[in-house]
Amino acid sequence: MDRQNGKSRREEVCPGKKDKLDLATARACIAQTKGPEYWRSLEELAGSAEFHEMMHREFPKGASEWLDSVSRRGFLKLMGASMALAGMTACTKQPLEPIVPYVRQPEEVIPGRPLFFATAFTLSGYASPVLVESHLYRPTKIEGNAQHPASLGGTDIFAQASILGLYDPDRSQTITYLGDVRTWGDFLNAIRGPLNVQKGLQGAGIRILTHTVSSPTLADQLNSILKLYPQAKWHVYEPVNRDNVYAGAQMAFGQPVETIYKLDGADVIVSLDADFLSAGFPGQTRYARDFAKQRDPDSGKMSRLYVVESTPSATGAKADHRLAMRAVDIEGFARDLARFSGIETEVAGARNQAGKFLLAAGKDLQNRRGSSVVIAGDHQPPAVHALAHAINQALGNVGRTVFYTDPVLSNADNQTGSLKELVGDMREGKVDLLFIIGGNPAYDAPADFGFADALKNTKIPLRVHLGLYQNETAELCHWHVNEAHYLEAWGDTRAYDGTASIVQPLIAPLYNGKSAHELLSLLAGQAEATGYEIVQGYWKTQHSGGDFDSFWRKSLHDGWIEGTALQPKQIALKNLAVGPQAAATQGIEINFRRDPSIYDGRFANNGWLQELPKPMSKMTWDNPVLISPAMAQRMGLQNKDVVELELNGKKVEAAVWIQAGHPDNSITVFLGYGRRRAGRAGTGAGFDMYQIRPSATPWFTNGVNIRKTGGTYPLASTQGYQSIETPNGAERPLVQAATLEEYHREPNFAKEEEPPEGLTLYPGYDYKKEPYAWGMAIDLNACVGCNNCIVACQSENNIAIVGKEQVSLGRHMHWLRVDTYYQGDRDNPKAHFQPVPCMHCENAPCELVCPVGATVHSTEGLNDMVYNRCVGTRYCSNNCPYKVRRFNFLLFQDWDTPQYKMMRNPDVSVRSRGVMEKCTYCVQRISEHRIDSERENRKIEDGELQTACQQSCPANAIIFGNINDPNSQVSKLKAKQRNYGLLAELNTRPRTTYLAEIRNPNPELES
Amino acid sequence: MDDRAQELINKQAPVIEPGYTFGTVTDKISSIVLTRPTSNGWFVGFGIAFLITMGLLYSVGYLFVRGVGIWGVNIPVGWGFAIVNFVWWIGIGHAGTLISAILLLLRQSWRNSINRFAEAMTLFAVACAGMFPVLHLGRPWLAYWLFPYPNTMKVWPQFRSPLVWDVFAVSTYATISLLFWFIGLIPDLATLRDRSENRAAQIVYGMLAMGWRGSARHWARYEMAYLLLAGLATPLVLSVHTVVSFDFAIGIVPGWHTTIFPPYFVAGAIYSGFAMVLMLAIPIRKFYGLEDFITDRHLNNSAKVMLATGLIVAYGYGIEAFMGWYSGNRYDAFLLWNRLHGPYAFFYYLLLLCNIGIPQVLWIKKLRTSPGWLFLISGIILMGMWLERFIIVVVSLHRDFLTSSWGMYYPTRWDWMTYIGTIGFFLACMFLFLRVLPMISIFEMRTLLPEAEVKAE
Amino acid sequence: MKRTQIYGMMAEFDTPDSIVHAARLTHEAGYRRIDAYSPFPIEALAEAIDFHPTDVPLVVLVGGIIGGLSGFFLQYWIHVINYPINVGGRPLNSWPAFIVVTFEMTILFAGIFAVLGMLALNGLPMPYHPVFNVPRFAFASKDRFFLIIFSSDPKYEPAETRRFLEGLNPRSIAEVPS
């Protein structure tokens, strides 16, 4: 009876349990359950009969397999894991070593006043320089480092969301041996012996597998280790790597080089499948800024962007001319373009279908010699990169819009090859001591390597994993050392232009994690060296002359090291070794891409990123297969249908999403989902595409078989309808767009629907008499749809995530959303991005209908939301034509998890169940600056006050300020003719207005 | 019309069958409450209604624990079943006061035999309606913030909001209806006091009757007050659904923002109200054998009222559709399209069938006087009127201005449980009323008897 | 036993006609402190005893005025004086929006005044009243009609009054003990 209950209850917590229970499954159960359930499931588990049975058995089922031999204590540890953190909120401490605050803020801590520290976030070796806001030494918000050339104040979504990564309760919190809790000391003892043995063998059995490294210190450490153990090998692997880029450079110049673009000098840009405006592309933050700068129709500087792409992307959406083309055909296009630019290449295989497009692009390039640029996408084969280099050379762009430097990465070897070699050694039993520093190869290695299998079944005596999570790889290693988050540990890194930054920690490690530096120094024989000593030590050796302390201090303060940017090289193009193009194989093409939100899977447990709508499909929590409308029709597929993909005999099931503008006879799948051990947010979400990813052609290949299984799978998209053309054939003026000459002909085109001032029976409120009247202008021309503002807003305003099911019900909480609209032909539509925060209407429809006055207007024109007064009628939301209001239908905020308490912005109240919430124009920031300015007896100056979205925007698309001040930047923008109010005909008089989108199409192609 | 014509009508279709005296009328009606044994039918009916009411209690309990998220509401569809049901019940609640007040002023003496339970029905319907605005709040325990009471927060309701208007309109309506009903009861309570053998009953009824003794002076003032109350209730009953319609008409949502709403909401309310009256009257007169008091004349007249109001409602739909096309407003035009072809189109057509199509059979006199058919048609109309509110609330909201915010609304089992629960609550109250109070106004029936006429000059 | 005081003399009739007739005669005979009881309202009866109430409408009017004024000024005071704040760009005194509540308050107050006023003027509630001491008076709420001459009437004189009432040939006559 009781047994029955226990069982059934537990089964709903973790379905598919047999009545036998072993610890792996037990842990799986806990991993699956989220939030408050987390505790409950533990109790149920403890109460369930099987659990007792398991406890009483001397050796739990599968004790022989080491992965299950977790002792009672180990399990209790699991139970206690995050409970142990209760009260941790009280005892955050500053790192022991002196870290240097950013001077814009007072030197000493004033409670309630944040400090800012410069540091850098690194993704696949490329740094995003950031300033971190710290409240009493609790880092709470990431901002761009405005002084740094790679940021200029902007950030990317991954850097923004990394703050949640720091406080992720599912992070690995202890060192473990075979799943048991161990100490650092235990670990030292455990590897001392084997290391000594290796000394004798010159380290023949040592293998070190790192993720992509750009840290000078780490590289230095590795090299010294390789000196110490000449036979040891250092392998580098990340599933999203730049092998093709370097190989292409090799092909063109005979050496791997970094290519850096200067887009603010480019009048014509041709992208060969390069998504250079989306987060994850090295230098994206800077490129977005430069690109936007170059597209200002009012200043006459208006570049033209041609994009040839194999899957719809933000870059394609911004293109003046976009050509959807299967990835395999793009090389053909590149060859023709090269020939057009006067480069001799053998053209074979697939002829391009571009025709007019190619001609137009080619001509434009010719007309803009020296001020044009051709960019090749990372996943295009080396030949395409080589051709791009050749074309840029031929057009004389090198030195003007294109620069070459030494690689930013410390190790530019072919990563796939490197991993292959490692697996080979493992299988041949050459490996005795394997260190996996970061990364998660057991999950993300190419399918045909069978890395996980090799790790499990080849008897490597000692396997050590250093990582932020107890992930799929940790599971297969003897030792797991919990890694320190970059906000907890010292380090250094390089930005896309090579500029080095010291990574200074904001907080002492929450779980006494170790950094890669500390682990490696152990191999080098200095077990006690701290990260601080190691990093500082390295830079001491680099620093010549001058007093080191001031140099160090300055570098920490600025967030970057003077004069470390890599110098442009003059390198000659050797005659192109681009052989004949391999004849294209037949069949449907499959593209493997990094996920726009969770990258290669490392951010799978980051709720903010999971719930961040992908730029083009607005999909959350999943990675459906993208197929073109035509193809879907042919194969009789609907959205949410489940298909089985088969590639080289490997199979995976996934749901389908029909993506307007996707090339036909080709599909796109995104990596990073289907994690088995990610944490409560990431585990089990989506489909694991690594299972079919081939090592030979990791990015795209022909010949995937698609079979409809007949099943369906729920998908959660945040946007109900993605066209501004309604089903009845009408079109709505939501996004005002025009071509450059249309704009010149009729500058006021966007304003047609605006009613004249004072078109109301009521006398309006006079805002002119107020010192401030806050307003915002969003330049649709600049917005590149990178989603950065959404994450920044979420972080600044303590916005909850709600999970897939609630999203699919339409209850996501984002205060700021970026609408993506398609227009015209579904096979190659125009796409528009439109960030939509609260409009702060002067005649706010929401305020009028609130029965309790919970939303009212401030004298400065803010549409204030009084959470404490809200009773939750939702009338305001119904009456909001912009639907920017968000409602706490259930208790969405996590009030229990201690880590989140540390993370939240103390200046913003945390909303509970049953109240409405919405964008406040970051009123907490306004107040802060008002207080300051009043204390200093002055007015708030233009630009000193930025909203979170504005501050994080890499493209400067969002401008906020005082519209009562005619000289403020926002007033100037609103004065422009292309400025218009959304749904202005309703006479809501929105304070947030938009600058219409202007395209610069090539007349030849328009006709 | 002049009295002779009236007499003629009374002869052909009497309001009360001949052969009754003051005594027999009194006995027949009061016996239901006092002497007749309670039938098993009553126990079964009340039992079922009570169980459903418990279902309501359960779903409301769960609602308070988890939050409105257990319902299908979302952004953009912030209002769902709760508001639909609220408007539906309020509409039903209109018949009672209308019959009692307006027909009284119009000297429609036939109303005397149906006004009492129509008023009771009104009260219970308003009680059901009153629940929803509270339940649908995100924080229901703060519902009292909608009332203007002095408080330490120094904040007040926002009187520009139609929801506050609702609070005042509905609570006023409830109060006045209650008073009206109670006033009407006093003389009958006195009758029950004097008729009952049971001491406890005598005390209870006696207290409620407040020592009424039918003095000529009292009657004079009583009639005056009753008439004035009717005069006040008449504009009130018209205002209530007008205010309810403001909840939508004041909003800017396409499909809400229209001036036709007040009249056509009121018409719709009376429409559904009479439907409910018939659905109750027909079984009641059958089970309690009151065919002599609730005669075919009543059924016929009620049916006529439904036919008339039904046509007004139809006109409302027509105008809505016409304006959608004629205004040239892209949002209204799309709304029309969406009703006809959108995901909820089926319900719109069903609505047209229930509210406009089927009720036209009421042109046939035979059907107007056949209880079975009337019962069925009334049921259909009630469903139709519920659908109307569903269309207005959900279909307007789910696709408004920005296509990016479009969504869908799917009710959950909790939505249904709450809705059905209120029906159970309503019926339970009705059963209790039938058992303890005279369902037909005795003293007003006496005035209908021929012997009540004073021939002396 | 203590001798009971007489409250008045009561005559019973069984048709509306007869009671109206009797009441009229009684009034003509000069009796002023009289009353009649019927199971349903009979306008003629009130006239017969020369009773024309005008007080109820007055009370209702007063109630309506109080309700209306308090209704509007409550809103005005709240939004203009006590808690003035900019809501949706509307003026503080957006009187058109205040009409609804004003109207509802008028009706509410008028209605309550009508009911309570009527009861108060009728001296209700009054659970005990001497007339209830007459056993047959129970039929006053069913099908009988009663006429009473109060002992407080100047013309009241037990024997004389009884003879007068018998002259109206009622169904029965009873003395009403107080």
The string of pLDDT tens digits covering residues A882-916 is: 999 999 999 999 888 888 888 999 999 999 999 99
Domains in chain B, number: 1
Band the pLDDT of B338: cuts 50, 70, 90.
very high
**Residues B225-232: what's their mean pLDDT?**
89
The string of pLDDT tens digits covering residues A953-982 is: 999 999 999 999 999 999 999 999 999 999
pLDDT at A846: 94
This model of the complex carries an ipTM of 0.90
The string of pLDDT tens digits covering residues A243-288 is: 999 999 988 888 899 999 999 889 999 999 999 999 989 999 999 9
Contact B164 C101 (CB under 8 A): yes
A816: left (phi over 0), alpha (psi -120 to 50) or beta: beta
Q: Which residues in chain B have their CB less than 8 angstroms from residue A914's CB?
A: 67-68, 137-139
Q: Which domain holds residue B372?
A: 38-451
| For A845, nearest residue in chain C (alpha carbons) | C88
**Residues A389-404: what's their mean pLDDT?**
90
Distance in angstroms (rounded) separating the CA atoms of residues B136 and B415: 11
Q: Is the distance from CB of A484 to CB of A172 less than 8 angstroms?
A: no
Give a yes or no: residue B279 inside a domain: yes
Contact C107 B156 (CB under 8 A): no
Distance in angstroms (rounded) separating the CA atoms of residues A527 and B422: 73
DSSP labels, A598-613: TBTTTTTT-HHHHTSP
pLDDT at A580: 67
**Residues C34-54: what's their mean pLDDT?**
83
B154 or A131, greater pLDDT: A131
For chain C, the chains sharing at least 3 beta-carbon pairs closer than 8 angstroms are: A, B
Work out the percent of chain A whose per-residue pLDDT is above 90: 53
Give kind and range of the element (H or E) at residue C107. helix C95-121
Q: Are residues C34 and C62 in the same domain?
A: no
Distance in angstroms (rounded) separating the CA atoms of residues A19 and A7: 8
Contact B175 C49 (CB under 8 A): no
pLDDT at A42: 41
Give kind and range of the element (H or E) at residue A250. helix A243-253
pLDDT at A75: 46
Give a yes or no: residue B68 inside a domain: yes
Contact C86 A845 (CB under 8 A): no
**Residues B111-134: what's their mean pLDDT?**
88
**Residues C1-27: what's their mean pLDDT?**
78
CB neighbour burial string for B238-256, b if at least 16 within 10 angstroms, e if fewer:
bbbbbbbbbbbbbbbbbbb
Contact C85 A857 (CB under 8 A): yes
CA distance readout (Å), A970 to A596, A974, C161: 31, 6, 100
Min CA distance, B40 vs chain C (Å)?
30
> What is the residue-averaged pLDDT of chain A?
85
Give a yes or no: residue B94 inside a domain: yes
The string of pLDDT tens digits covering residues A44-96 is: 444 454 544 444 444 434 333 333 334 445 444 444 444 444 444 445 566 66
CA A735 to chain centre: 26
Give a yes or no: residue B169 inside a domain: yes
What is the Cβ-side half-sphere exposure of residue B36, based on CA atoms within 13 angstroms? 18
Q: Which domain holds residue C98?
A: 55-121
Mutate to test the interface with B, among A814, A871, A918, A994 (most CBs of B within 10 A): A871
Which range is least confidently modeled, A692-696, A820-824, B93-97, C79-83? B93-97
| pLDDT higher than threshold 80 for residue A585 | no
| pLDDT higher than threshold 90 for residue A880 | yes
Burial of residue B55 (CB within 10 Å: 0-12, 13-18, 19+) is: middle
For chain A, the chains sharing at least 3 beta-carbon pairs closer than 8 angstroms are: B, C
Give a yes or no: residue C159 inside a domain: no
| pLDDT higher than threshold 80 for residue A226 | yes
CA B269 to chain centre: 7
Spatial CB neighbours of B334, under 8 Å, sequence gap ≥ 6: A726, A728, A730, B254, B399
Work out the percent of chain A whose per-residue pLDDT is above 70: 87
pLDDT at A584: 64
Number of C-beta neighbours around residue A91 at 10 A: 7
HEC readout, C54-96: CHHHHHHHHHHHHHHHHHHHHHHHHHHHHCCCEECCECCCCHH
The string of pLDDT tens digits covering residues A829-858 is: 889 999 999 999 999 999 999 999 999 999
Q: Are residues C30 and C69 in the same domain?
A: no
- Token pair of A667 as six digits: 């599909």
Contact C88 A845 (CB under 8 A): yes
Give a yes or no: residue B111 inside a domain: yes
Distance in angstroms (rounded) separating the CA atoms of residues B144 and A90: 38
Q: Is the distance from CB of A857 to CB of A848 less than 8 angstroms?
A: no
Partner residues linked to C146 by β-bridges? C12, C37
For chain B, the chains sharing at least 3 beta-carbon pairs closer than 8 angstroms are: A, C
Distance in angstroms (rounded) separating the CA atoms of residues B264 and A811: 33
A626 or B292, greater pLDDT: A626
Phi (first) and psi of residue A979, to 5 degrees: -75, 130
Strands A321-324 and A372-376: unpaired
Query: Which sign does the torsion angle of CA A540, A546, A549, A552 carry?
Result: negative
Distance in angstroms (rounded) separating the CA atoms of residues A966 and A768: 11
Q: Are residues C26 and C75 in the same domain?
A: no
Number of C-beta neighbours around residue A63 at 10 A: 15
Band the pLDDT of A994: cuts 50, 70, 90.
very high
Single-letter code of the amino acid located at B373: W
Among residues B362, B274, B294, the alpha carbon closest in space to that of B14 is found at B294
pLDDT at B442: 84
Give a yes or no: residue B141 inside a domain: yes
Contact C86 A843 (CB under 8 A): no
Distance in angstroms (rounded) separating the CA atoms of residues A577 and A581: 11
Interface of A with C in 811-870 (CB under 8 A): 841-848, 850, 853, 856-859
Give a yes or no: residue C113 inside a domain: yes
pLDDT at A108: 57
pLDDT at A105: 47
Q: Which residues in chain B have their CB less than 8 angstroms from residue C101's CB?
A: 159, 164-165, 168
Distance in angstroms (rounded) separating the CA atoms of residues A334 and A336: 5
End-to-end CA distance of chain B: 23
Interface of C with B in 155-174 (CB under 8 A): none
CA distance readout (Å), C8 to A440, C15, C23, C47, C153: 107, 22, 15, 21, 9
Nearest neighbour of C107 by CB, restricted to B158, B176, B210: B176
Spatial CB neighbours of A922, under 8 Å, sequence gap ≥ 6: A796, A797, A947, A948
DSSP labels, A535-584: HHHHHHHH--SS-HHHHHHHHHHHTS-TT-SPPP-----PPP---PPPPP
Q: Are residues C65 and C107 in the same domain?
A: yes
What is the Cβ-side half-sphere exposure of residue A636, based on CA atoms within 13 angstroms? 4
Band the pLDDT of A348: cuts 50, 70, 90.
very low
Band the pLDDT of C159: cuts 50, 70, 90.
confident
Distance in angstroms (rounded) separating the CA atoms of residues C121 and C57: 12
| pLDDT higher than threshold 60 for residue A39 | no
Distance in angstroms (rounded) separating the CA atoms of residues A163 and A609: 11
The string of pLDDT tens digits covering residues A285-325 is: 999 999 999 998 888 789 999 999 999 999 999 999 999 98
Q: Is the distance from CB of A152 to CB of A146 less than 8 angstroms?
A: yes
Give a yes or no: residue C64 inside a domain: yes
Band the pLDDT of B39: cuts 50, 70, 90.
confident
Q: Is the distance from CB of A881 to CB of A986 less than 8 angstroms?
A: yes
The string of pLDDT tens digits covering residues A7-23 is: 444 344 444 434 444 55
Q: Which residues in chain A have their CB less than 8 angstroms from residue C94's CB?
A: 762
Q: Is the distance from CB of A590 to CB of A669 less than 8 angstroms?
A: yes
Q: Please provide the size of chain B in residues.
A: 457
Contact B219 C141 (CB under 8 A): no
pLDDT at A927: 93
The string of pLDDT tens digits covering residues A686-711 is: 999 999 999 988 999 988 999 999 89
Which range is least confidently modeled, A411-425, A762-776, B306-320, C151-165? C151-165
pLDDT at A166: 93
Distance in angstroms (rounded) separating the CA atoms of residues A247 and A613: 33
Q: For position B375, which CATH number holds?
A: 1.20.1630.10
| pLDDT higher than threshold 90 for residue B10 | no
What is the Cβ-side half-sphere exposure of residue A278, based on CA atoms within 13 angstroms? 23
Nearest neighbour of C87 by CB, restricted to A847, A859, A989: A847
pLDDT at B244: 92
Q: Is the distance from CB of A566 to CB of A258 less than 8 angstroms?
A: yes
Give a yes or no: residue C157 inside a domain: no
Nearest neighbour of C89 by CB, restricted to A843, A850, A859: A843
Between helix B81-92 and helix B216-249 the angle, nearest 10°, is: 150
Contact A763 C91 (CB under 8 A): yes
Domains in chain C, number: 2
Contact A857 C88 (CB under 8 A): yes
Give a yes or no: residue B31 inside a domain: no
A591 or B444, greater pLDDT: A591
Give a yes or no: residue C32 inside a domain: yes
Contact C90 A857 (CB under 8 A): no
Contact B78 A851 (CB under 8 A): no
Is B162 an interface residue toward A (CB < 8 Å)? yes
HEC readout, chain B: CCHHHHHHHHHHCCCCCCCCCHHHHHHHHHHHHHCCCCCHHHHHHHHHHHHHHHHHHHHHHHHHHHCHHHCCCCCCCCCCHHHHHHHHHHHHCHHHHHHHHHHHHCCCHHHHHCHHHHHHHHHHHHHHHHHHHHHCCCCHHHHHHHCCCCCCCCCCCCCCCHHHHHHHHHHHHHHHHHHHHHHHHHHHHHHHHHHCCCHHHHHHHHHHHCCCCCEHHHHHHHHHHHHHHHHHHHHHHHHHHHHHHHHHHCCCCCCCCCCCHHHHHHHHHHHHHHHHHHHHHHHHHHHCCCCCCCCHHHHHHHHHHHHHHHHHHHHHHHHHHHHHHHCCCHHHHHHHHHHHHCCCHHHHHHHHHHHHHHHHHHHCHHHHCCHHHHHHHHHHHHHHHHHHHHHHHHHHHHCCCCHHHCCCCCCCHHHHHHHHHHHHHHHHHHHHHHHHCCCCCHHHHHHHCHHHCCCCC
Distance in angstroms (rounded) separating the CA atoms of residues B9 and B132: 44
| pLDDT higher than threshold 60 for residue C15 | yes
> What are the E-state strand segments in C104-165?
145-150
- Token pair of A1005 as six digits: 């192609």
pLDDT at A4: 44
